[in-house]
Amino acid sequence: MDNSVSSAQGTRAFPQKGLFVIGCARSGTTVLQDALNDSKEVFLFGEPDFHTDPGTPDFARRYNAMHRAWRNQPTKSTFCPPIFEGDAPWREYLWRMGELYRYVGAKVVLNPMSFLHDPAQILEFYSREFYASTFIFTFRNPLDVARSAQELQAATGGEVTPFELSMASYVVAISLFLVMLRNLPHVHAVFHDNMGRRTFARLEKILQIRLPGLRRYYDQRRVRSYDQSPLLREHGEAAQLVVELYRDFRQAAIRGFDLVQLGQNNGNSSPAHLTTLGQLARRCEAISQSLGYDRAVIAR
């Protein structure tokens, strides 16, 4: 049997098993992935980037080498087990793990340098390959995201991402969530600075499994916040616009969006025309343009 055909059939055979955690770097994707992987019913790969993977039959070798280079200890999030006699493409691993777990998928980190190159690629890939899967976006106060990324990059000797680029990526991540929410059946958002009993209960309801380990992973001593005043002083209006967007987006998402499928037209000048979701989408586009990046509307 042609392996490419069998694996493609395999991934289509269990779309409801797909589970993907998506978010900007430093927004809480890792802790959520680890907390979900604590369950014996979940297996999530850590940043395999299926949407850019060449599909060659050496996935485990490349994936494990990447995590060794990052000096990660081998866990469900960082190690692809040798479940085949040789190696195989990512589809084969996903198919096989889908036979062993109720949910199988990955953490997807939206790094500015790669994500902003073609943000529509994420939407197109996951709509095509995993339309009926569950997507959980993680968000965190954008200035905490920027400060945390700067701190990590300084500690590891990496190049510090310019603030405007980081914020543009953040705004496009919100835009991507809004588009996926409107067009895919199982899209949800959680907020790193709002992880408590209600959110844990909602995740259990979404996935229809018990997740007793969630609370342990979100020890408040590990959820760090930063002094935001330096970034607000240095970047002024740009920082304030993104912070206000996040505040309004978070409030609306927690309440629950209404009229998600109501047709919206950005050319309409009447404020009353737009729903809450439509207003947020328009603000994403405007803020991205003000930051020098005009591709916030993922699907046109």
Q: How many CA atoms are closer than 13 Å to the CA of 244, on its beta-carbon side?
A: 10
Exposed, middle or buried, 94 (CB in 10 Å: 0-12/13-18/19+)?
A: buried
**In this structure, what are the phi and psi dihedrals at residue 13, rounded to the nearest 5 degrees?**
-75, -20
Given this model, what pLDDT does residue 211 score? 94
Distance CA 24, CA 171 (A): 10
266 within some domain? no
Can you spell out the DSSP letters for 161-222?
PPHHHHHHHHHHHHHHHHHHHHHSSSEEEEEGGG-SHHHHHHHHHHHTS--TTHHHHT-GGG
Give me the helices (H) in 46-101, please.
59-69, 90-100
269 within some domain? no
Please state the pTM of the whole predicted model. 0.91
Residue with tokens 């600075």: 193
Q: Please state the domain count of the chain.
A: 1
CB atoms within 10 A of CB 39: 21
186 within some domain? yes
- We report the CATH number of the domain holding residue 206 as 3.40.50
211 within some domain? yes
Given this model, what pLDDT does residue 298 score? 58
299 within some domain? no
291 within some domain? no
pLDDT in tens, the chain (300 residues): 344 444 445 445 566 899 999 999 999 999 999 999 999 999 999 999 999 999 999 999 999 999 999 999 999 999 999 999 999 999 999 999 999 999 999 999 998 888 887 888 999 999 999 999 999 999 999 999 998 888 888 777 777 888 999 999 999 999 999 999 999 999 999 999 889 999 999 999 999 999 988 989 987 666 677 888 888 898 899 999 999 999 999 999 999 988 887 777 777 667 677 889 999 998 999 999 898 876 544 544
290 within some domain? no
292 within some domain? no
Domain range for residue 166? 3-225
